[in-house]
Structure 1
Amino acid sequence: MPEGHTIHRIARDHSKLLTGRPVHVWSPQGPFAPDAARVDGATLERIEPYGKHLFYHWSTGEIGHVHLGLFGKFKVFTDDDRPQPQGAIRMRLESDSATIDLSGPTACTIDDPSVRTGILARLGPDPIMRRANPQQMYDKISKSRRGIGDLLMDQSVVAGIGNVYRAEVLFACGIHPLRPGTDLDPAELELLWTTITRMLRRGVKDNRIVTMTRADSDVPRNRPIPRADATYAYKRDHCVRCGTEIQHLDIANRTSYHCPTCQPR
């Protein structure tokens, strides 16, 4: 499932191609067709990312909602030879500068603005947003006996964290994923937020997950860090700092990775 940095990057890149223009909206697959017809030909005013959600603000006053889930993906075509839809395309967006196909999303709807309001009310702060307030995250973590590895995957606690960032944030902060939220002190909560913010914002900039710093990497400075060497704990066999074997836990239905030496319980 794409994590928050991917959603923000999609919004940034697609906005350049679609916003401020009338957009032909239709559904080659069919089920989305009635919704698409409500905004077909309308101007797309802006694309708003939040956590793992995308909101499309249309000139009709309605708002589109997309959640990619595990299988959703976009394909972008910007040349003059734009192909006919292939496969199960839920939504096609066509402007004078691009064609964008969406397939396999968990959610793809056109709604009254109240639906967006309801979704946002259920989510925690999005660390990528410049004015995000971490207090809601602090409050929920500090009152919960659930493990922090479970809490970070809860979108009502903090929006946008997925399995990779969970492992990397906790490793960078030296926190064991099974430590209860109530066990974390204010300094650790602040460190968590600062680390989450730094990592996700870097992900938007780089358009990929790179949590490894140059100080910890053997890759020459004039070369990009390859994907296999871009993380500290996620899918590693051994800790890059101390050499201890990376341990696996099943938390929130996903495999969690941690170093028992650098992240003592």
Structure 2
Amino acid sequence: MRIELTGVSVEVAGRRLVHDVTLRAGSGRMVGVVGPNGSGKSTLLRCVYRALRPAAGTVRLDGADLHAMDAREGARLLAALPQEAGTEFDFTVAEVVAMGRLPHQRGAGRASAEDTARCARALARVGAGHLAGRGFLGLSGGEKQRVLIARALAQDPRVLVLDEPTNHLDIAQQLEVLALVRAGETAPDGDGRAGEPGGRLTVLTALHDLNLAARYCDELYVLAHGRIAAAGPPHDVLTPELLAEVFGVRAHRVRHPETGAVQLLFDRLAAPAADS
């Protein structure tokens, strides 16, 4: 399932934070949104998962206006992991992940055996099956992040929107989670949803780490001051010139010895010479 943003602008408290953004993530692709702090990444994604409504433009899933969809229908197609997600109540991990099945249940129906099995598979996929009986509030930051990703996967979406999914994870966990998300498959059909059984998830994610973005994303969109500064494959986008202009750093490009992906080494930009 493809996701398309066309001319999207977003306003918060009367201030326009995102300006006329057009972005496309093709079916089964992993697309990254990168940019410095305050560039509008989280604001843009909040519009995509319907926490905000665009002041202008549209967000479409396979051509259908996402903001015009019934909430339950939209939740069956798109799952999100916001940057600051969690729960104030001390549910067990199994109960938190089970919340991902709510869009597929009718009314106040109880979880089925299939729901329980899908939740268990989602926890196993993120390496957190052993946490099922633990209280969510007692988990470490990294454990909570894994559980919330499992909740999103248990939702069996076609599109996954992730805002800084590697927050609170150590480097090994970061690599594991992004590899899992990139290789993620949608659930086989059987509940009347459109789409090909077992197809790859379409993923739209904001990332701070440019090297992780370069390694795992098919395309990148660079945001600066709420506008698209560049877009395309990581090798074409992450140029020293753009990184100096947008991020204020001097970048040296190298190749990953195994994957061949562009990787970056950073220095501070030389300070301008003082006037004599």
Larger relative contact order (Cα-Cα within 8 Å, sequence gap ≥ 6) = 2
**Larger strand percent:** 2
Q: TM-score, normalised by structure 1?
A: 0.31
Q: TM-score, normalised by structure 2?
A: 0.30
